[in-house]
Homo-oligomer: A and B are copies of this chain.
Amino acid sequence: MKDVAEAAGVALKTVSRVVNEEPGVNPATAGRVTAAIERLGYRRNESARVLRRGRTATIGLVIEDVADPFYSGLSRAVEDVALRHGSLVLSGSSGEDPRRERELILAFCSRRVDGLVIVPAGTDHDYLRPELDAGIAAVFADRPGGLEADTVLCDNAGGAHAGVSHLIRHGHRRIAFIGDSASIFTAGERLHGYRRALAEAGLPFDPSLVATGPAEQAGPALNRMLSGDAPPTAVFTGNGRITVAVLRTGHRLALVGFDDFELADLLVPGVTVVAQDPVRLGRTAAELLFRRLSGDHGTPERVELPTRLIPRGSGELPG
């Protein structure tokens, strides 16, 4: 910038004015400056600008894994909203590891992001408190975080309830639940929905029909249930990866899965799912964030998005 000022024969401040399109610069002068900028290939140093002004026009996004289609859809939505607000996105995958999540978040904060969209892996976010006090906004998405802040969730319990009820309506009495580790919020909620649906239909809850854990264990768990003495006739799966794992076992039994996925309609039979809308989730969270950034300091909000049952065949197999 100093070089540009020199080249154009004006003061530093005048260049700054031109770069920021501030009013009150003689068009002729502005022209000389613009020419000098062009000639020297000058580009404003954003770090210095941030240092002076406080805002970075950058937000941070922490998700579990970009490579998971659910989160990549969410990512894209957040990115689009950010771009519309003139911001960029620093993103990172926590891999469901609270330590890595913490490191990412703190790294984002020390780079002075304006705000954060977090799909929390951990449950303790006290370390965020000083940052929030310092003016960084935060929105939790998909799961609630460890402190009072804006949160956007899906109706996990309601969706699971709808999916399991659907199986019950088709005559099933022994329905397995295979889901994520119970420690994950969404998994717990979905299990609640499952139990509520059973209870409403007057069916007993049988712990031997419930398996929770990472997706790799889903197949073996189902195999064990099926070789037991009171095997299930239907399965409700707790997330997309687990649904696929169950499909790979090759058993042909009634199935409803939480999360929609590409090609679910092309399999035979088509896979009935309870669909969430990751794009809407991301969009809602990001918009809420930018509302906060533009000065809305009301009490934290909690938004719950609906789910949608999509029958495709696998959930309509008779019991």
Binding site for B on A (CB under 8 A): 41, 43-48, 50-51, 56, 58, 65-69, 72-73, 75-76, 79, 83, 88-93, 104, 106-112, 129-131, 133, 244, 247-248, 261-263, 266-268
Q: Which single residue of chain B is at the shortest CB-CB distance from A68?
A: B72
Oligomeric state, in copies: 2
A131 to B44, CA, bound (A): 12
A33 to B107, CA, bound (A): 21
Assess the B58–A90 pair: CB atoms within 8 A. yes
Assess the B90–A88 pair: CB atoms within 8 A. yes
Tell me, rounded to whole Å, the shortest Cβ–Cβ distance linking A59 to chain B. Answer: 11
A248 to B266, CA, bound (A): 7
Tell me, rounded to whole Å, the shortest Cβ–Cβ distance linking A138 to chain B. Answer: 15
Contact of A111 among B72, B88, B107, B130 (CB under 8 A): B88
Chain B residues, CB < 8 A from A45? 51, 110, 112
**Given contacts A90-B88, A90-B89, A266-B267, is CB(A111)–CB(B46) below 8 Å?**
yes
Contact of A46 among B88, B91, B112 (CB under 8 A): B112
Tell me, rounded to whole Å, the shortest Cβ–Cβ distance linking A309 to chain B. Answer: 21
**Given contacts A72-B72, A79-B92, A90-B58, is CB(A112)–CB(B247) below 8 Å?**
no
- 23 sample A-B contacts, Cβ–Cβ < 8 Å, listed by A number: A43-B109, A44-B110, A45-B110, A46-B110, A47-B47, A47-B111, A47-B112, A58-B111, A66-B72, A66-B79, A67-B72, A67-B76, A69-B72, A72-B75, A88-B107, A88-B108, A88-B111, A89-B90, A90-B90, A262-B263, A263-B263, A267-B267, A268-B268
